[in-house]
Amino acid sequence: MTAHLRERPKVAARPDPGHCPVIETARLTLRPHRLSDADAVAQSLGDYQVSRMLARVPVPYHRQDALDWLVRQTAGLSGDWALAITTGDDVHIGCVGIELRHGQWHLGYWLNRYYWGRGYASEAVHAAVERFFQRMPGTVLHSGVFADNAGSLKLQTKLGFEITGCAQIYALARNGLVSHIETRITAGDLHRP
């Protein structure tokens, strides 16, 4: 009597860019977040001018909200990246995140309002996207901006993102639906700022 063993179907491994890296640019260091970043994150996202441009940030935003988020980010349980944007003296000024959602890679970012207008966001986003594409060259990276965020749309256009459509998404800070311009980029489309 011969026993036949059935092979279990192979489950495709999640494509993964690897651990969150440390990236040096001309003026910035992008690094994995630490729990000690909680005060800086809370200060930045507690500013409605910043949080209103993000879909998943509550208002008001407190230090405990920052700690809750940082615990998940620092646990190292996913292949997602949440890079702290820091100045040369390790002052936390923002975040660039790349995460897998619904089978697609998505880019998000924010910067403390007092650092707007200096090119830091372009520098940080370019560096993070460039490193991501070094690890995941055949990937399409999705992003987008609220329709009233002209500065962020300008940043994405300058880096080579293309507009693919418009949708209505719920913004927690605004407590309502907001027009969201959908964008995407591939490694071959990325431009230096």
Where are the chain's structural domains? 23-189
H/E stretch holding 100 reads strand 92-101
Which pLDDT belongs to residue 14? 53
pTM for the structure as a whole: 0.90
SS3 breakdown of the chain: % helix, strand, coil, rounded to 5? 30, 30, 40
Task: Sort strands 104-111 and 141-146 into parallel, antiparallel or unpaired.
Answer: parallel
Pick from 14-23, 83-92, 129-138: least confident: 14-23
Is the predicted pLDDT of residue 13 greater than 80, yes or no?
no
CB 81 within 8 A of CB 17: yes
Question: In CATH, which superfamily holds the domain spanning 23-189?
Answer: Gcn5-related N-acetyltransferase (GNAT) (3.40.630.30)
CA distance 92 to 21: 16
Q: pLDDT of 58-106, one tens digit each?
A: 999 999 999 999 998 888 777 789 999 999 899 999 999 999 999 999 9
Whether the CA torsion 47, 67, 84, 157 is positive or negative: it is negative
Compute φ and ψ for 84, nearest 5 degrees.
Answer: -75, 130
